[in-house]
């Protein structure tokens, strides 16, 4: 266990990243955002909880979203993070009809709703302020999900690793959202995490536009799983 959130983040993320971009703390909840050290950079978000003997990692993810907390299966931490456009210094994110605003630092944004209910839905980036002007982002078109994808759960020596797969037209594409949970994760939280990944699955996923993007997606899956090809 670690007595400070910064120490926990530096230790947990050392195998995956050499650059921690943001650390946030709120009571007994914490969050760290980092960038991996490969040339095909991608972001990793890690949720923490503080117990009596220190900070411990409860979830590692390659996408933002909702993470349940141990105190209540109906409440959790909702995050919105990602790379910001060049020149952006602020961001506005909408969740449940309300807009929150924050700074862009180190080229990324990170907004957190700490005691949010899962029913509030997913955040949406409303606008970036670039060179003093707000540039509104186009809301993604809603699409009806008529079927689900697959969620795989692996019990590894030091963690559970979960990831979703999407149908790309002829094969299952295992490069969707992924989570890493500690081995002492309660069954209820494990079930909530599987349910979250199921909501992220889509029936038909587009194939990567280039081999480079395909490799980037693969690395984003392998690194949190602590495996190599």
Mean pLDDT to the nearest integer, 175-189: 81
For the chain, give the mean pLDDT. Answer: 80
Structurally, the chain folds into a number of domains equal to 1
> What pLDDT was estimated at residue 196?
78
Q: Check whether 109 has a pLDDT greater than 80.
A: yes
Residue 42 pLDDT: 81
Domain with 77, as residue range(s), is 5-225
Contact status, residue 83 vs residue 107, Cβ threshold 8 Å: yes
Q: In this model, does residue 88 exceed pLDDT 90?
A: yes
Determine which of 87-101, 114-128, 159-173, 186-200 has the lowest per-residue pLDDT on average. 159-173
pLDDT for residue 144: 42
pLDDT-based confidence at 93, cuts 50/70/90? very high
Q: Which residue has the higher pLDDT, 12 or 34?
A: 34
Does 229 score more than 90 pLDDT? no
- Residue 226 has what pLDDT? 78
Q: Note the pLDDT of residue 105.
A: 93
pLDDT greater at residue 99 or residue 147: 99
What is the four-CA torsion angle of 3, 9, 14, 15, rounded to 10 degrees? 110
pLDDT value of residue 89 = 96
Q: What integer pLDDT is reported at residue 120 of this predicted model?
A: 63
With a cut of 70, say whether residue 205 has pLDDT above it.
no
Confidence of residue 113 (pLDDT cuts 50, 70, 90): very high
Q: Which long-range contacts (CB under 8 A, 24 or more apart) does 21-28 make?
A: 21/105, 21/106, 21/107, 21/108, 21/110, 22/81, 22/105, 22/106, 22/108, 22/110, 24/110, 24/112, 26/112, 26/114, 27/114
pTM for the full model? 0.65
Residue 91 has pLDDT above 60, yes or no: yes
């Amino acid at each position: 266990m670690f007595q400070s959130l910064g120490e926990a983040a530096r230790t947990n993320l050392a195998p995956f990243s050499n650059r921690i971009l943001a650390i946030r703390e709120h009571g007994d909840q914490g969050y760290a955002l980092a960038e991996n050290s490969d040339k095909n950079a991608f972001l990793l978000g890690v949720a923490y909880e503080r117990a009596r003997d220190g900070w411990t990692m409860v979830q590692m993810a390659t996408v933002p979203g909702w993470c349940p907390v141990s105190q209540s299966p109906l409440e959790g931490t909702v995050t919105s993070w990602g790379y910001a456009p060049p020149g952006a210094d602020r961001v506005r994110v909408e969740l449940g009809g309300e807009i929150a605003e924050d700074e862009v630092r180190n080229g990324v944004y990170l907004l957190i709703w700490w005691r949010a209910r899962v029913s509030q839905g997913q955040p949406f980036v409303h606008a970036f302020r670039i060179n003093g002007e707000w540039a509104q982002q186009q809301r993604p078109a809603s699409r009806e999900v008529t079927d689900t994808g697959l969620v795989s759960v692996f019990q590894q020596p030091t963690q559970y690793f979960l990831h979703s797969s999407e149908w790309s037209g002829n094969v299952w594409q295992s490069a969707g959202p992924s989570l890493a949970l500690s081995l002492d994760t309660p069954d209820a939280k494990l079930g909530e995490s599987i349910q979250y990944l199921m909501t992220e699955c889509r029936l038909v996923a587009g194939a990567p536009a280039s081999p480079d993007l395909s490799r980037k997606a693969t690395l984003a899956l392998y690194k949190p799983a602590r495996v190599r090809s």
